[in-house]
């Protein structure tokens, strides 16, 4: 089991104090195929739970990355600009997109744990 929480839009969240590290799941990167471009928000941007926070483009499609929590973007993963393939190679570690200082940490409780997310994925096939 991991310490990640997941949204139904296939984003994951890892909590570090009052900051949520956000990326896309292994399932999502697999569905996208080879990631060729990532558009990240500016630090300082306010995001609300469910709002578009970033854009990821692959050889197959472009897709929004939604923020699973409300807060302020405090950091973005700059290396994705030079190496967007990190999303494919390490989606739940080095391939993270942004960090958000949460204004309402209780929102994390609305997300699925690993077991619930795996069960959710089984309903998609």
What's residue 2's pLDDT?
A: 61
Please say whether the beta carbons of 66 and 7 come within 8 A.
yes
Is residue 79 pLDDT above 80, yes or no?
yes
The CB density around residue 24, as the number of other CB atoms within 10 Å, is 28
- Which residue ranges make up each domain of the chain? 5-103
Q: Which two tokens stand for residue 78?
A: 């700059």
Q: Which of these CATH numbers, 1.10.287.950, 3.30.410.10, 3.30.465.10, 2.40.50.100, describes 5-103?
A: 2.40.50.100
- Neighbour-count burial of 2, counting CB atoms closer than 10 A to its CB (0-12 exposed, 13-18 middle, 19+ buried): exposed
**Banded pLDDT at 113 (limits 50, 70, 90):** very high
CA–CA distance, 54 with 87 (Å, rounded to integer): 13
**Banded pLDDT at 125 (limits 50, 70, 90):** confident
Q: What is the mean pLDDT of residues 2-6?
A: 89
The tens digit of pLDDT for each residue in 9-63 reads 999 999 999 999 999 999 999 999 999 999 999 999 999 999 999 999 999 999 9
Q: What is the mean pLDDT of residues 78-90?
A: 97
CA angle in degrees (0–180, nearest 5) for 18-90-1: 60
pTM of the model: 0.95
Q: What is the mean pLDDT of residues 89-98?
A: 97
CA–CA distance, 88 with 30 (Å, rounded to integer): 7
């Amino acid at each position: 089991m991991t310490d990640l929480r997941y949204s139904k839009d296939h984003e994951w969240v890892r909590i570090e104090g009052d900051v949520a590290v956000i990326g896309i799941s292994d399932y999502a990167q697999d569905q996208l195929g080879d990631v060729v471009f990532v558009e990240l928000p500016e630090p300082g941007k306010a995001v609300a739970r469910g709002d578009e926070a970033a854009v990821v483009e692959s050889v197959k499609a472009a897709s929004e990355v939604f923020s699973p929590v409300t807060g302020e973007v405090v950091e973005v993963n700059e290396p994705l600009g030079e190496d967007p393939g990190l999303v494919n190679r390490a989606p739940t570690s080095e391939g993270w997109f942004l960090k958000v200082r949460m204004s309402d940490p209780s929102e994390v409780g609305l997300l699925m744990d690993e077991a619930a997310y795996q069960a959710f994925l089984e309903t998609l096939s």
